[in-house]
């Protein structure tokens, strides 16, 4: 806790941001070792007189003590720019966070080949289907999926990686103990078991509108490239793409219907030179990769999915969605959600005319 407190005090000093904090720590070592007893050779160009005065007699904010309690309660881990296992891709961006809090595991082997999949919270059915498809295939190709735990595209991207048993990391605009949106709590716990929740914000930090745009530089910074599925020109996904460009990372975009607002952002990125994605190999080609050969076993279906699959098999070759609705007794929303999950598992396929067929 002394180590964490030292970094917090350093960043709380007047005029000290991530860049200055990292520069000082690289020169003088861990902040808690020099705060309160500043090196005599520290210059005003390195640290303003006002900041030097503060760090000679730093305060301890009450909210930090609450954060320390949460760190113990949730077994939250802490990593700084000085640590060897700090993510290398993130280390190389213009404004890397001085430190990260995380729940789960940050493993360097899973952070070498990473891709961000981002998009609107109000994704279309097409957008969700494409997120599921590309997320699954990219995970199978060895990519760790990075996203932001939001509704819509982010949620589907994380789920796609988890269903394949691969790694996924969620970069949060809150403390890693504060799951936002709250409806994604169970998803967040799954991510902790098969990746990590990551944040530069203190545990206990609640959702603040400014935090989310700011964290997008970390989503792109952790990734070799960012794939934008859907979003308006002013969406957070577009901001992630902007950061990716500034960080000299690849930007990919899914082309969409010019009449839909959700397609406005990706189509604009394509006009600026982003790489058009129509299949997973479009991404792999940029990194000189090919899809590995896989021997696929029939996936596990839960009770509701099995019910749908059995009805489809009994009514081969295909069924109208409305008839399937009647046969299974599910609501429209339930059936649509279950079918999306089953498409991701490659056990059903949608056909023209709103028809569904069982595969395998």
| pLDDT single digits (tens) 32-61 | 999 988 988 888 899 999 999 999 988 878
What's the pLDDT at 296?
Answer: 54
Confidence of residue 318 (pLDDT cuts 50, 70, 90): confident
What's the pLDDT at 317?
Answer: 79
Tens digit of each residue's pLDDT (9 = 90 or more) over 325-356? 999 999 999 999 999 989 888 889 888 889 99
Q: Residue 238 in contact with residue 206, Cβ under 8 Å?
A: no
Q: What is the DSSP letter of 177?
A: T
What's the pLDDT at 360?
Answer: 65
Tens digit of each residue's pLDDT (9 = 90 or more) over 125-156? 999 999 999 999 999 999 999 999 999 999 99
Tens digit of each residue's pLDDT (9 = 90 or more) over 177-202? 999 999 999 999 999 999 999 999 99
What's the pLDDT at 288?
Answer: 82
Tens digit of each residue's pLDDT (9 = 90 or more) over 206-234? 999 889 999 999 999 999 999 999 999 99
Region 317-321 average pLDDT: 89
Tens digit of each residue's pLDDT (9 = 90 or more) over 258-299? 999 999 999 999 999 999 999 999 999 998 887 776 555 678
Own/partner pairs for 340-344, CB < 8 Å, 24+ apart?
A: 340/128, 340/129, 340/132, 340/156, 341/159, 341/163, 341/305, 342/301, 342/305, 342/308, 342/309, 343/129, 343/132, 343/133, 344/132, 344/133, 344/136, 344/159, 344/160, 344/163
What's the pLDDT at 352?
Answer: 87
Confidence of residue 300 (pLDDT cuts 50, 70, 90): confident
Omega into 181 within 30° of 0, i.e. cis?
yes
Q: Residue 162 in contact with residue 194, Cβ under 8 Å?
A: yes
Strand order in the sheet with 348-351: 319-320, 355-358, 348-351
What's the pLDDT at 293?
Answer: 61
What's the pLDDT at 125?
Answer: 92
Omega into 317 within 30° of 0, i.e. cis?
yes
Q: Residue 291 in contact with residue 139, Cβ under 8 Å?
A: no
* φ, ψ at 204 (rounded to 5°): 100, -15
What's the pLDDT at 251?
Answer: 98
Q: What is the mean pLDDT of the chain?
A: 93
């Amino acid at each position: 806790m002394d180590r964490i407190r030292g970094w917090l005090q350093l960043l709380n000093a007047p005029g000290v941001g991530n860049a200055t904090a990292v520069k000082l720590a690289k020169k003088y070592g861990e902040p808690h070792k020099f705060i309160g007893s500043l090196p005599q050779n520290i210059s005003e160009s390195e640290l303003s007189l006002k900041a030097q005065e503060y760090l000679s007699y730093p305060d301890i904010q009450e909210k930090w003590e609450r954060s320390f309690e949460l760190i113990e309660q949730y077994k939250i881990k802490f990593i700084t720019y000085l640590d060897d296992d700090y993510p290398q891709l993130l280390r190389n961006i213009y404004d890397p966070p001085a430190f990260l809090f995380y729940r789960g595991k940050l493993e360097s082997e899973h952070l070498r080949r990473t891709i961000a999949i981002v998009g609107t919270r109000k994704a279309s059915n097409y957008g969700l289907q494409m997120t599921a498809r590309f997320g699954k295939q990219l995970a199978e190709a060895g990519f760790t999926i990075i996203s932001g735990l939001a509704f819509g595209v982010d949620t589907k991207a994380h789920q796609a990686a988890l269903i394949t048993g691969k790694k996924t990391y969620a970069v949060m605009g809150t403390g890693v103990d504060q799951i936002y949106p709250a409806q994604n709590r169970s998803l967040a716990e799954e991510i902790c078991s098969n990746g990590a929740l990551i944040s530069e914000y203190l545990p206990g930090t609640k959702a603040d509108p400014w935090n989310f745009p700011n964290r997008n530089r970390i989503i792109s910074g952790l990734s070799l490239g960012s794939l934008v599925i859907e979003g308006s020109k002013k969406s957070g996904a577009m901001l992630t793409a902007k950061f990716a460009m500034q960080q000299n990372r690849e930007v990919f975009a899914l082309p969409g219907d010019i009449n839909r607002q959700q397609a406005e952002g990706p189509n604009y990125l394509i006009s600026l030179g982003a790489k058009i994605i129509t299949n997973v190999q479009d991404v792999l080609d940029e990194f000189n990769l090919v899809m590995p050969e896989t021997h696929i076993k029939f996936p596990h279906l839960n009770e509701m999915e099995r019910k749908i699959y059995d009805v489809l098999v009994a009514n081969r070759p295909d069924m109208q969605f409305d008839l399937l609705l009647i046969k299974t007794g599910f609501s429209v929303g339930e059936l649509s959600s279950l079918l999306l999950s089953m498409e991701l598992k490659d056990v059903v396929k949608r056909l023209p005319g709103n028809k569904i067929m069982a595969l395998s």
